[in-house]
Amino acid sequence: MATRSERDKRIAAMAYLVGAQGLSEKQARAVIETRYGHYSSSTASRDCAEARRRQWLIERFADESFSDDGELLEELSTLAHRYSELETVLAAKSQRVLKGLRVVYGGVDQASACGGPIQDALTECGRRSAHELYALLIRSKVLGVASGHTLRAACDGVAARASFARASDRADVVHVIPTSGEPIGAGAVDTNSTSLASLLSQALNRRRVPVPSLAGVPSVIPRKYQAERREIVLEFIADLRAYRDIFVGRAGADDPRPWIERLDSILTCAGAFGSWQAYDNELTRTVGIGSDELAEVADGDIGGVLIPRPSLSARKRQRFDEIARLWTGMQLGDYRRIAHAAELKRTSGSAGPPGVIVCAFGANKARIVDVLVTRTRVVNHLLIDHALADALAEIHRLGKPGTYQRLGRRPERGTGTAAGRRGAVQIGHHGRESWRHAGVGDD
């Protein structure tokens, strides 16, 4: 492992915070000061210029320059991660199923309180999470991917990161598998599961690896096709080779199991019922079920799979089952199997595949994310922004948003020590509210 001076580490931190996390030089200086002590603006400017001269900062953070120094990369990633107490609490309440929490600086500057360019904010979050996400995905052998706007932003970030990766940093073979069909009549094909699987397969592999396509397979079955008619539709769908390979399996093949049973990891998202959620919109548009009705029986979804509310009455449970049966993709039992298998591998001391990776951005996802982590316990790695982290901290009474220093504000004298560094630089109350009122970001 490379030996680097304190100045080298400081320059690398500047490159990481500006290039990977999208901070201004002034904001980056404030963060670095909490770790390394007093850091003048003139020194910060020289370090930023030096980072560009060394090509550690080339409109992005050149993490491939540190492939021989994993310890420093891990140290740098913690600069944006000020939620160790939250991570400890969530891991304990998940019964240690949760193995990692990563927090990136959210795109609150792009999302205005009046509902500004939300997609731009998601794109920034995806770009800033690319380093951590790429490192997780490359450990997979058979990777599933769900659908939605959040995942599109995350996958675009990974693809951009991979374009600079050395061939040796890519996988020999990662099979990337779509886990859901297409919304009926939807125009935004770039957010469906098959499109994202193709994008990730190109990004992660050294050579071309075929990706099965669920194009033409509806993600939900319209309500009018029920009972015997539903079985006929499912029988027809199962005749499609890709659907059969993914969900049914083929007798006589070298491995007769369906791809869904071979997944060791999945990249997915969390959905809170709202105006921007694809699954909600698909149920509303195709089936005629509104978000209010969904909220009566479900807490939200993971990758399109509805999560039932606790203690449902017999009538509401029946209604939940009727709605859940409309979904044709991956099921909750598949998520549980993947999460449990990843937990066992980590317990045995093997790094292994990452398991279930959930990407979620925006404070309005707090309730469903908390349910997925602490009650359903199907999340191994959680990648979120500061707005959502603040909201989760509120749920678990770990501190109020707004008690942290705003980025760019210089710490008080004497706070550069360990006591002052804990949680010292996080997005404050105003940033969290900007996301909440803008409605970010149902999938």
Angle ∠(90,92,96) on CA atoms, nearest 5: 100
pLDDT at position 117 is 64
Q: What is the pLDDT of residue 284?
A: 62
CA dist 79 and 425 (Å) reads 9
Using the predicted structure, report yes or no on whether residue 40 has a pLDDT greater than 90. Answer: yes
Cα 233 to Cα 215: distance, rounded to the nearest angstrom: 15
pTM: 0.76
All structural domains of the chain with their residue ranges? 1-78, 81-407+416-438
The mean per-residue pLDDT over the stretch 107-124 comes to 58
From the CA atom positions of the chain, what is the Rg in Å? 22
Separation CA 119–CA 129 (nearest Å):
15
CA distance 220 to 218: 5
Amino acid letter, residue 355: G
> How much is the average pLDDT of 305-312?
94
Helix ranges (H only) for 191-331 are 193-204, 228-238, 241-243, 259-262, 278-282, 291-297, 314-324
Residues 57, 15 contacting (CB under 8 angstroms) = yes
Burial of 287 (0-12, 13-18, 19+ CB in 10 A): middle
Over residues 395-402, the mean pLDDT reads 70
Confidence of residue 142 (pLDDT cuts 50, 70, 90): very high
Are the CB atoms for 152 and 191 separated by under 8 Å? yes
pLDDT band of residue 402 (cuts 50, 70, 90) is very low
Q: Give the chain's mean pLDDT.
A: 80
Q: How many other β-carbons are positioned within 10 Å of the β-carbon of residue 248?
A: 17
If one compares 289 and 409, the residue with the highest pLDDT of the two is 289
Query: For position 356, what pLDDT does the model report?
Result: 98
174 contacts 201 by C-beta, under 8 angstroms: yes
Q: What is the pLDDT of residue 286?
A: 63
Position 1 confidence tier, pLDDT thresholds 50, 70, 90: low
Average pLDDT over residues 373-382: 97
Q: What is the pLDDT of residues 220-249, one digit of tens each?
A: 888 778 778 888 888 889 889 999 999 998
Tracing tokens 């996400």 back to the chain, one arrives at: 133
Confidence category of residue 82, pLDDT binned at 50, 70, 90 = low
> So what's the architecture of 81-407+416-438 in CATH?
3-Layer(aba) Sandwich (3.40)
Q: What average pLDDT score do residues 363-384 get?
A: 95
